[in-house]
Structure 1
Amino acid sequence: MTETLTATLTDRPLKALGLSLALAGGLGLSALQTAPALAQESEENSRLDTYNQLQLFGNVFKRIKEDYVEDVSDEELIEFAIQGMLSQLDPHSSYLDADSFRDMRVQTRGEFGGLGIEVTMENGFVKVVTPIDDTPAARAGIMAGDYITHLDGEAVLGLSLQDAVERMRGEIGSDIILTISRDGEEATFDVTVNRDVIKVRSVRHRTEGDIGYVRISAFNEQTTPGLEKAVEELRAELGDDMKGLVLDLRLNPGGLLTEAISVSDAFLDQGEIVSTRGRDNANAQRFNARDGDLIDGLPMVVLINGGSASASEIVAGALQDHRRAVIMGTQSFGKGSVQTIIPLLGHGAMRLTTSRYYTPSGRSIQAEGISPDIIVEPARVETIDISGGRREADLRGALENKGGTNGEEDDQTAANAEDQRPTDYQLDRALDLIQGVSLFQVSQAGN
């Protein structure tokens, strides 16, 4: 109220406020007495400004209807206006027409049509957040961080993200040519992608020796059941020999908040998982873990990178803050906002950013991301022979190993092991860490 009063007194003569110059000595009292009137006047001015802006919109709408070179329906113009209004708020708020809304609901169920890429808009171009595993885009070689500059030869610059996404959709089996700008490449290049029905298997698993490996590629309605089944199968295969678990969230663009909470809860016994806060603190929400850990406290490493966003960051942040897992890899994407899908009866829906989310320690990772506990950049490992190519067996007169093999079998075993060795450097480091923690725990138990 003080700020409003000060601005009003500065902008208007005192007589306009019904005050006399003779009352200057009692200005404070007189000003307080007129505060309700000033507030009412301010509210009326605000309503008048809104009316004027709506009148401006009506005038523009009328002029387009009368003078635009082509006929445009009222429904199209209203949708364009809504799209513009929402898209200017932030990169994640948007209008979904009936078709897009239907596609979104199908996607959250784990099946949808398209190319199989998660995208955002940056500097006027479509930026690939991540290609989804086993989709046309992934098979065509589209990579996280790629910029799409043209669609079938038409420039993306000037399109909204929604427009670009709509153009990338199409008849199943049809091709689209994406012009790609990639860091490290001197020139753009074209990639042809065949549209298909995208069936997302959001959870995959395998064993890495005596360590379980689970990859979650997206958070949809099938994620938690898929995770529970994966861990059950891993434990059945490894039994008591299971030393730990690697949870791979790299290139996971996110998805449903409820699934992020559920996956975090699967490895936590208690405590807060995440909180969300919007403009009104009265609507803040906190989500807490329930008793039960799928792997009963075994060592755990979570892998993240720049393609890990939103729901992935909720899981990584919760497990990091509770010291339940070691976070390894590179800085995550940094999408710390929550979007609410609000259906519009007969007109699709709007996706509106309604709150920010916070990790259990109170961190907002919006535009910052999750910092790994151990930074491991992607790398290619090469074997270096430091022996100079000479071994004991190569020396003249060396004694034979009569109690073992002649060395050829050992060499072949080593060669086979090298051929089967994983080429994923970040995963290798995660496996090494779990092995080290497991050995340490055994030695401590022995003492």
Structure 2
Amino acid sequence: MTLRNGLLLGTAFLVGVVAGPEIGRVARHQATFGSALAQDVQQNTAGTSATSASGHAETYRLLTLFGDVFERVRADYVQPVTDRDLINNALNGMLTGLDPHSSYMTAKQFADMQVQTSGHFGGLGLEVTSDAGLIKVMTPMDGTPAYRAGMKTGDYIISINGKSLDGIDLNDAVDRMRGAPDTKITLTIKRPGKDKPYDVTMTREIIHIQVIRSALYGKVAYIRMASFDEDTESGMRDAFEKMKKQAGGKLDGVILDLRNDPGGLLDQAVAVCDDFITSGEVVSTRARHPEDSQRMNAHGTDITDGLPLVVLTNEGSASASEIVAGALQDHHRSITLGTRSFGKGSVQTVIPLSGDNGAIRLTTARYYTPSGRSIQGLGITPDIKVRESREDDSKFMLREGDLAHIIKNEGGTQTPAAPRTDLPAIAKSIPDEPPANWPTFDPTKPGTDFQLQQGLKVVNAMSAGQAAPAASTQHAGSP
């Protein structure tokens, strides 16, 4: 794959690659920050304003401070440390201190990152992030060792093969979890709500991401998206056409399952929306520099010809999946059912560094739904709220707003969305949690999936004659 170094929508570090996949445009330059900064400092000439001169002097003072600390650590640290390790640590600290999604990647980590959008890589299939210095699970990917081992969003990984992760950098923790296929690894997990940590032993393998899974329930097409890689839209379309044929050429509705989908490629998110929305805005981005802002519109054909559509979301639905859920919701093309999504409303740009020195991923813009909403730190609120279990574990759910030093939610519309008046009558009778005798969820048994079963009720009710959402362009204006 040729990397289109551009905007990132991934939410966390993935065990098997170092970062989420890239989306969007090509970066126009390679970063040569050392020389650029030196030139900037040297521009403090006689003709420079007093304010600018003061700023340059402060920059020079801080660079001198950095050099002093660098020399002291190199000379007096308890054991020898390479200059490269010191600089790598400093670069990563510079970026991770800005927000949870900016980071520095070494050449190896950058190469690892490029693998994910091809849909297969080595590892555990486990997305993790840093939470107050602890390693926290964002989501296990479908069908992977982590998924089969029963790991869940919100789990903390406190040790690997008996060695504590206390104080370990996220990059280092991810590196420790990687390894050759067919080798075993034991993670010690602390799950919120459980008194004692416990061990989970897995076997590393080459992860082949099954991005699209589908099933036909009666005449309702169920399409599950695990992530947005290069083949997501085409895979979704193929699955839809296959199920339509199986249903004798006529379907009653579609369920699009975006639960625990951490995101991916922007062009794929837009393409998926194209398959349900015929015109109007899908998403817009606003950057520091106006020329880098973008607006992406739908120019497609509704492949379902207006069939009832339900989108399932939960706290693991992030980035590209939130773009899809938000666009379909704003256009009143779908009904969203489940729990509030992750809330990552920022985009990152991958900038390769010269001299095979890796790359940086830098937060460069915020994105907005067609109605002008910024979901940063807030997420997509479902039209019909349904929890997956009776346990009130919301306080344990990790979302963007729970991470340290996130960027602010700003620039979007501050007008609350008007309550929807087009929901089918059955929406009022959908319970917000399973009954007491509901069976324990088993991913191999759809009948135990409470959110899915409620989604099927809604789709079938709309198909039977209750009001069904129709695509609207009322929110097509640029925010």
Give the TM-score of the pair, scaled to structure 2: 0.74
Runs of 5+ unmatched residues, structure 1: 1-36, 385-419
Runs of 5+ unmatched residues, structure 2: 1-45, 390-433, 439-444, 469-479
For the 8 Å contact 2:212–2:236, the answer to whether it is kept is yes
Q: How far is 1:121 from its partner? A: 1.1
Please state whether the residue corresponding to 1:120 is helix, strand or coil: strand
> Alpha carbons of 1:329 and 1:442: their partners in 2 closer, same or farther (altered >3 Å)?
closer
Which deviates the most, 101-110 or 68-77? 68-77
The amino acid that maps onto 1:179 is: T
**CA–CA separation in structure 2 for the residues paired with 1:125 and 1:421:** 34
Corresponding residue number in structure 1 for 2:454? 429
The amino acid that maps onto 1:81 is: A
The amino acid that maps onto 1:46 is: G
Which of 366, 379, 404 in structure 1 is aligned with 2:376?
366
The amino acid that maps onto 1:323 is: H
The amino acid that maps onto 1:425 is: F
Query: 1:88-116, CA deviations, whole angstroms, 9 ceiling, x for partnerless residues?
Result: 11111111112211111111111111110
Corresponding residue number in structure 2 for 1:119? 128
The amino acid that maps onto 1:424 is: D
Corresponding residue number in structure 2 for 1:352? 362
Corresponding residue number in structure 1 for 2:8? none
Corresponding residue number in structure 2 for 1:65? 74
For the 8 Å contact 2:220–2:254, the answer to whether it is kept is yes
Query: 1:46-104, CA deviations, whole angstroms, 9 ceiling, x for partnerless residues?
Result: 00110111111111222222222322222222111111111111111111112211111
1:53 aligns with 2:78: no
For the 8 Å contact 1:381–1:425, the answer to whether it is kept is no
**CA–CA separation in structure 1 for the residues paired with 2:168 and 2:374:** 31
Please state whether the residue corresponding to 1:58 is helix, strand or coil: helix
Query: 1:226-275, CA deviations, whole angstroms, 9 ceiling, x for partnerless residues?
Result: 11111111111113431010000011111122211111122110000001
**CA–CA separation in structure 1 for the residues paired with 2:302 and 2:374:** 26
The amino acid that maps onto 2:344 is: K
**CA–CA separation in structure 2 for the residues paired with 1:381 and 1:208:** 22
Look at both structures and tell me which one has the larger radius of gyration over its CA atoms: 1
1:440 aligns with 2:461: no
For the 8 Å contact 2:446–2:452, the answer to whether it is kept is no
In proportion to residue count, which structure has more helix?
1
Sequence identity of aligned pairs in percent? 50
Which of 317, 323, 326 in structure 2 is aligned with 1:314?
323
Corresponding residue number in structure 2 for 1:293? 302
Q: How far is 1:421 from its partner? A: 7.3
The amino acid that maps onto 1:324 is: R
Query: 1:282-339, CA deviations, whole angstroms, 9 ceiling, x for partnerless residues?
Result: 4211000003012111000000001111111111000000000000000111111111
**CA–CA separation in structure 2 for the residues paired with 1:66 and 1:426:** 59
Which deviates the most, 432-441 or 265-274? 432-441
Corresponding residue number in structure 2 for 1:331? 340
Corresponding residue number in structure 2 for 1:194? 203
**CA–CA separation in structure 1 for the residues paired with 2:107 and 2:241:** 40
For the 8 Å contact 1:249–1:308, the answer to whether it is kept is yes
Corresponding residue number in structure 1 for 2:138? 129
For the 8 Å contact 2:139–2:153, the answer to whether it is kept is yes
**CA–CA separation in structure 2 for the residues paired with 1:332 and 1:174:** 34
> Alpha carbons of 1:421 and 1:99: their partners in 2 closer, same or farther (altered >3 Å)?
closer
1:239 aligns with 2:248: yes
Please state whether the residue corresponding to 1:427 is helix, strand or coil: helix
The aligned runs of 1:216-235 (5 Å cut-off) are 216-235=225-244
Which of 141, 148, 151 in structure 2 is aligned with 1:139?
148
> Alpha carbons of 1:421 and 1:268: their partners in 2 closer, same or farther (altered >3 Å)?
closer
**CA–CA separation in structure 2 for the residues paired with 1:58 and 1:353:** 26
The amino acid that maps onto 1:360 is: P
The amino acid that maps onto 1:213 is: Y
Please state whether the residue corresponding to 1:331 is helix, strand or coil: coil
Please state whether the residue corresponding to 1:263 is helix, strand or coil: helix
1:215 aligns with 2:240: no
Corresponding residue number in structure 2 for 1:171? 180
Which of 173, 183, 192 in structure 2 is aligned with 1:183?
192
**CA–CA separation in structure 2 for the residues paired with 1:79 and 1:421:** 47
Corresponding residue number in structure 2 for 1:268? 277
**CA–CA separation in structure 1 for the residues paired with 2:54 and 2:280:** 48
> Alpha carbons of 1:352 and 1:383: their partners in 2 closer, same or farther (altered >3 Å)?
closer
For the 8 Å contact 1:94–1:162, the answer to whether it is kept is no
Please state whether the residue corresponding to 1:239 is helix, strand or coil: coil
Aligned residues: 372
Give the TM-score of the pair, scaled to structure 1: 0.80
The amino acid that maps onto 2:61 is: N
**CA–CA separation in structure 2 for the residues paired with 1:354 and 1:152:** 38
For the 8 Å contact 1:119–1:126, the answer to whether it is kept is yes
**CA–CA separation in structure 2 for the residues paired with 1:362 and 1:219:** 23
Q: How far is 1:148 from its partner? A: 1.2
The amino acid that maps onto 1:428 is: Q
The amino acid that maps onto 1:354 is: T
Q: How far is 1:382 from its partner? A: 6.4
For the 8 Å contact 2:138–2:154, the answer to whether it is kept is yes
**CA–CA separation in structure 2 for the residues paired with 1:373 and 1:208:** 22
**CA–CA separation in structure 2 for the residues paired with 1:326 and 1:258:** 23
Corresponding residue number in structure 2 for 1:399? none
